[in-house]
């Protein structure tokens, strides 16, 4: 006798692209005496030794998946985080600069971390209003959305019916998932360093499959993990 119509696991629609969003490993500490160098107006710190360990853990976690490409941004912490996985898979990383972190204007170079620790009123306002551009010179939601969706669209066009990894940034992951779900702008901010989130992008939009899978890096996490930039 037939069992009838059983439930089935989710399958991406034809032509869709599965994107594994990896947040880069922990970057080095910010100090007034040693601010982050800037690349195209964005802070560009290297990985902290803890972040290097997280990069290794990401590579071990994902090395057995069938992955067709690995994307990084123009900021070195994503390149360094992707390196162990790229080594396992024998791949060269690809650049998608429009998935770089939110531009923080006058608070680049590590200043955001210092302002957050001090409870600066502008930081408090930014969190309450869920707007980056409360910070002088920072990116608006509209500008950020235009460049991030553009970057995702290019990846999708290059990889229909494939799975790719994109090593990106906390603010970018938060924006993508908020945009996809229609939630408040900062609802998904705070992904842990080295964490994995998964989306499927296709002609009808973006499906969120998971957020902040951090089992592989849990032993590296500490107070402050998940802070932006």
Question: Alpha-carbon distance 30 to 45, whole Å?
Answer: 9
Question: Is residue 88 included in any domain, yes or no?
Answer: yes
Question: Is residue 226 included in any domain, yes or no?
Answer: no
Question: Is residue 158 included in any domain, yes or no?
Answer: yes
pLDDT at 129 over 90: yes
pLDDT at 131 over 70: yes
Question: Is residue 165 included in any domain, yes or no?
Answer: yes
Determine which helix (DSSP H) or strand (DSSP E) holds 210, and give its type and residue range: strand 205-213
Question: How does DSSP classify residue 110?
Answer: T
CB atoms closer than 10 angstroms to residue 134 = 17
| Residue among 212, 171, 195 nearest 54 (CA) | 195
pLDDT of residue 114: 93
pLDDT at 161 over 80: yes
pLDDT at 51 over 60: yes
pLDDT interval class at 3 (50, 70, 90): confident
Structure tokens, 71: 């994307």
Does the CA dihedral 194-164-73-100 come out positive or negative?
negative
What is the total count of domains within the chain?
1
Question: Cα 186 from chain centroid?
Answer: 14
Across the chain, what does the average pLDDT equal?
A: 95
> In this structure, what CATH number is given to the domain that contains residue 159?
3.40.50.1240
Query: 46 near 77, Cβ under 8 Å?
Result: yes
pLDDT at 50 over 90: yes
Question: Is residue 52 included in any domain, yes or no?
Answer: yes
pLDDT of residue 2: 74
Q: Where are the beta strands (DSSP E) in 6-49?
A: 17-23, 38-39, 42-43
Give per-residue pLDDT as tens, 19-46.
Answer: 999 999 999 999 999 999 999 899 999 9
| Residue among 64, 70, 68 nearest 22 (CA) | 70
* pTM, rounded to two decimals: 0.95
Structure tokens, 97: 């600069």
Structure tokens, 209: 């499959």
Structure tokens, 94: 């690809």
Give per-residue pLDDT as tens, 53-106.
Answer: 999 999 999 999 999 999 999 999 999 999 999 999 999 999 999 999 999 999
Question: Is residue 218 included in any domain, yes or no?
Answer: no
CB atoms closer than 10 angstroms to residue 154 = 14
pLDDT of residue 227: 60
Question: Is residue 193 included in any domain, yes or no?
Answer: yes
pLDDT interval class at 177 (50, 70, 90): very high
β-pairing, 17-23 with 94-95? unpaired
pLDDT at 225 over 70: no
Domain of residue 98 covers: 17-210
Question: Is residue 155 included in any domain, yes or no?
Answer: yes
């Amino acid at each position: 006798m037939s069992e009838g119509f059983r439930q089935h696991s989710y399958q991406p629609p034809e032509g869709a692209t599965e994107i594994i969003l990896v947040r880069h490993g922990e970057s080095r500490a910010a100090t007034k005496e040693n601010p982050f160098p800037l690349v195209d107006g964005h802070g560009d710190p290297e990985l902290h030794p803890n972040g290097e360990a997280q990069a290794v853990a990401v590579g071990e976690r994902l090395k057995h998946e069938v992955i067709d490409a690995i994307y990084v941004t123009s900021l070195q912490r994503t390149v360094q985080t992707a390196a162990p996985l790229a080594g396992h898979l024998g791949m060269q990383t690809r650049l998608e600069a429009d998935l770089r972190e939110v531009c923080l204007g006058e608070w680049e170079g590590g200043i955001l971390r210092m302002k957050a620790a001090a409870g600066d009123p502008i930081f408090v306002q930014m969190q309450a209003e869920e707007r980056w551009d409360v910070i002088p010179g920072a990116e608006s939601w509209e500008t950020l959305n235009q460049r991030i969706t553009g970057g995702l669209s290019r990846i999708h066009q290059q990889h229909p019916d494939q799975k790719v990894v994109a090593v990106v940034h906390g603010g970018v992951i938060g924006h993508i998932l908020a945009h996809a779900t229609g939630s408040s702008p900062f609802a998904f901010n705070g992904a842990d360093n080295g964490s994995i989130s998964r989306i499927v992008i296709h002609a009808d939009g973006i499906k969120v499959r998971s957020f902040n899978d951090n089992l592989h890096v849990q032993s590296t996490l500490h107070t402050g993990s998940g802070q932006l930039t």
